Amino acid sequence: MPFVGEAHVIDGPSGPIAFRRSGEGEPLVLLHPLALSGEAWGPVAERLAARFDVISPDARGHGGSGWAGEAFTVADLADDVAALLDGLDLRSAHLLGMSMGGSVALTFAGSRPERVQRLVLADTTAWYGDQAPAVWAGRAEKALATPRARQVPFQADRWFTEEFRARRPHEVQRVVDVFVRTDSRAHAQAARALGGLDGRELLPAITAPTLSLTGEQDYATPPAMGRYIADHVRTGQALVLPELRHLSLIEAPGLADVVVAHLTDQPLPAPGAESASCGCAGSGTRPTLPTPEVIA
């Protein structure tokens, strides 16, 4: 089911920012993946709204948010988050970002550490590697040239395991519908923005306690990328989630319990995941961020 919080709009740097809001408690901002919208969060957002004031914006050009068509960067998307908090008169909030939303969240947390209370980053990275600008530019061109429905098989295989696609076709279709409705121009520009991302130098400035979650089968942002983030923020922990791919929290909304535990500073429940705290499971060394195949 979609996230059905009450819809709102406020002014942002590049046009109106559309967002959904549901629940009560401390504010929690959810930042969605590339070429989707806040609607994609679905059941996990509903679960989190039982404990938090959940605010789920659409990135510029995605969903109901405006965009004037100009080039933008991940830092610009982080500026939109600042505008959202300012418009809601919130000095700070918890952040949960997945995929592109995680890159935006860590950029926001590294540039405005005083505004983030606690941070959860799912299936994301601070940097895609030296070849990323060229590779993501190619992905942007494909996003523009290929009809959206023809992009779906590639995307669905990246997002979800084969078992989940067979067992929960309606949930997969719900996310696919959000993807198909996304403006291809915004998809392409966001892809270019990810190609230009390099948030590695921002990580040491992140003061919010950080939990990094990565699907074991996530070949877009492999687990080593999540471990790198956890090892380079002030206080970080990484969990590898067995038998999940790139949209781990959508495939397994029960992970909301892990998110809630982290955000409330409670011991994490065992999600059946491999855990690695800072130091990469006691290795005593900081890993080098790998350069994977970049997948849009």
180: in domain: yes
**How buried is 232 (Cβ within 10 angstroms: 0-12 exposed, 13-18 middle, 19+ buried)?**
buried
89: in domain: yes
pLDDT of residue 5: 75
231: in domain: yes
CA 151, CA 131: separation in Å to the nearest integer? 23
291: in domain: no
282: in domain: no
Sort strands 210-215 and 6-12 into parallel, antiparallel or unpaired.
unpaired
CA 188, CA 192: separation in Å to the nearest integer? 6
pLDDT of residue 271: 59
88: in domain: yes
The b-or-e profile of 122-147 (16+ CB within 10 A means b, else e) is bbbbbbbbeebbebbeebbebbeeee
292: in domain: no
Q: To which H or E segment does residue 104 belong?
A: helix 100-111
Q: In angstroms, what CA-CA distances link 201 with 204, 206, 210, 258, 260?
A: 7, 10, 16, 28, 28
Q: What is the pLDDT along the chain (296 residues), one digit of tens a residue?
A: 555 578 899 999 999 999 999 999 999 999 999 999 999 999 999 999 999 999 999 999 999 999 999 999 999 999 999 999 999 999 999 999 999 999 999 999 999 999 999 999 999 999 999 999 999 999 999 999 999 999 999 999 999 999 999 999 999 999 999 999 999 999 999 999 999 999 999 999 999 999 999 999 999 999 999 999 999 999 999 999 999 999 999 999 999 999 999 999 999 987 554 443 332 332 233 334 333 333 22
Range of the domain at 15: 6-277
Q: To which H or E segment does residue 225 belong?
A: helix 223-232
CATH code of the domain covering residue 16: 3.40.50.1820
150: in domain: yes
Please give the sequence-ordered ranges of beta strands (E in DSSP) within 173-222, or none if there are none: 210-215
CA 23, CA 50: separation in Å to the nearest integer? 6
pLDDT of residue 165: 98
- The predicted model scores a pTM of 0.91
Q: How many domains does the chain have?
A: 1
